[in-house]
Amino acid sequence: MREIVSIHLGQAGIQVGNSCWELYCLEHGIQPDGLMPNNTSNDSFGTFFSEGRRGKYVPRAVYLDLEPMVIDEVRTGSYRKLFNPNQLISGKEDAANNFARGHYTVGREFIDQCVDRVRKLADNCSNLQGFMVFNAVGGGTGSGLGSLLLERLSNEYGKTLKLGFTIFPSPKVSTAVVEPYNAVLATHSMIEHTDIVVQLDNEAIYDICRKGLRLEKPSYRNLNRLISQTISSLTTSLRFNGSMNVDISEFQTNLVPFPRIHFMLSSYAPVVSSSRAYHELNSVPEITNAVFDPSNMMAKCDPRKGKYMACCLMYRGDIAPKDVNTSVGSIKTKKTVQFVDWCPTGFKCGINYQAPTFVPGGDLAKVKRAVCMISNNTAVSEVFSRIDHKFDTMFAKRAFVHWYLGEGMEEGEFSEAREDLAALEKDYEEVVQDGQQEEEY
């Protein structure tokens, strides 16, 4: 059995988590109360669920937040009987959009309890594959407590894969004034303490929902349901049968060419609403072309301006390996999809027979096949340079910095984090230049 422990931090992490667990339950036939009425003999559920007493299945998940409101919704919601109450940990005092509160003052008192709970879950696994950490780096809990927890996990589980699904600040839509500070400080810690980070961006996913699902005003639930389909597709190989299965550690081997360059772009296809599903074929070449379309990327950056270092294509449903090979072959001939010169192969494909699960009352149509792509493209440095520019503008005037210093931070930490991100941007530039310089010689 290959297990994954999920950790959901702050409001964003918890709300994405709610959509994910709703989907996992449907995929494995588990009811909101944790029971599985038509129990099948396979143990595919074991990746995400542990079996409790009286045939009850409990998610291998920890929900953490410094204030109780969001977790209280889970405690009183329709899935309240699914989760072990000990795994829903909330404090009484909010991080107030302040990285320093989440990392130093409020978070410090809270962290031991969180690590103990994660340790208990990890000890109950026979073959722990890795941790999935869900958070947003714009707020205080996701960034501050998230960084603190990743540091602790890094110390205790150095060799275990840490996969982050992280919501970065959007270019135009902002939820907090101090987002750039929190994002830079948290990214500084993620460079060192995570193995892979999948970048998500609300604005980009809003646009996908508007274009693909024809929703005029998408809600966070619409966004999260789309994110949950992507996350589910990454782990289907651990849970269901397929002709080409991809282990979660294989992502790291294939996607990360250098340790610091582990920030990924993700996309999912087909994104079609129920009303339009019957008018579209959604053939393998069609959905393969769709995941390379810049407008389907779940972070606001243009992959055509950068170069791909590697990409993983995870197909699921009614898929023939021959169609996959043909589709990938045709992608390689496109001028818009460029790879760095030092990585000629570039593609890792997985095929799984389990078709995507339809969520009742959801917006995505029931389809026979789908594909999720996680790619390492140098264009993600756009996301960092945008945040850095906003950070510099504010930090030049030392605006809002006193809130952080008042919680025990030092001004030097801002400069250190900013320098680390500048170095990261430089790393991405060098990755592209290496090949160009060789051509010149």
Contacts of 301 (CB under 8 A, 6+ apart): 265, 377, 379, 380, 382, 383
DSSP alpha helices (H): ranges in 87-193?
99-100, 106-123, 146-156, 179-193
Contacts of 179 (CB under 8 A, 6+ apart): 138, 169, 387, 390
What sign does the dihedral 268-271-277-283 (CA atoms) show? negative
Nearest of 413, 36, 387, 385 to residue 178 by alpha carbon: 387
The pairing of beta strand 308-317 with beta strand 369-377? antiparallel
Q: How far apart are CA 65 and CA 356, in angstroms?
A: 31
353, with CB counted inside 10 A (0-12, 13-18, 19+), is middle
Q: How far apart are CA 417 and CA 370, in angstroms?
A: 39
CA angle 400, 404, 408 (to 5 degrees): 155
Q: How far apart are CA 151 and CA 158, in angstroms?
A: 10
Per the document, the length of the chain is 441
Could you give the 3-state DSSP secondary structure of residue 18? helix
Task: Judge whether 99 and 143 are in contact, CB under 8 Å.
Answer: yes
**Does 67 participate in catalysis according to the annotation?**
no
Residue of 51, 73, 250, 286 marked active site: 250
Q: How far apart are CA 64 and CA 90, in angstroms?
A: 6
Nearest of 408, 406, 340 to residue 377 by alpha carbon: 340
The pairing of beta strand 263-269 with beta strand 369-377? antiparallel
Q: How far apart are CA 422 and CA 102, in angstroms?
A: 24
Give me the phi and psi of 363, to 5 degrees please.
Answer: -100, -25
Which positions are catalytic?
250
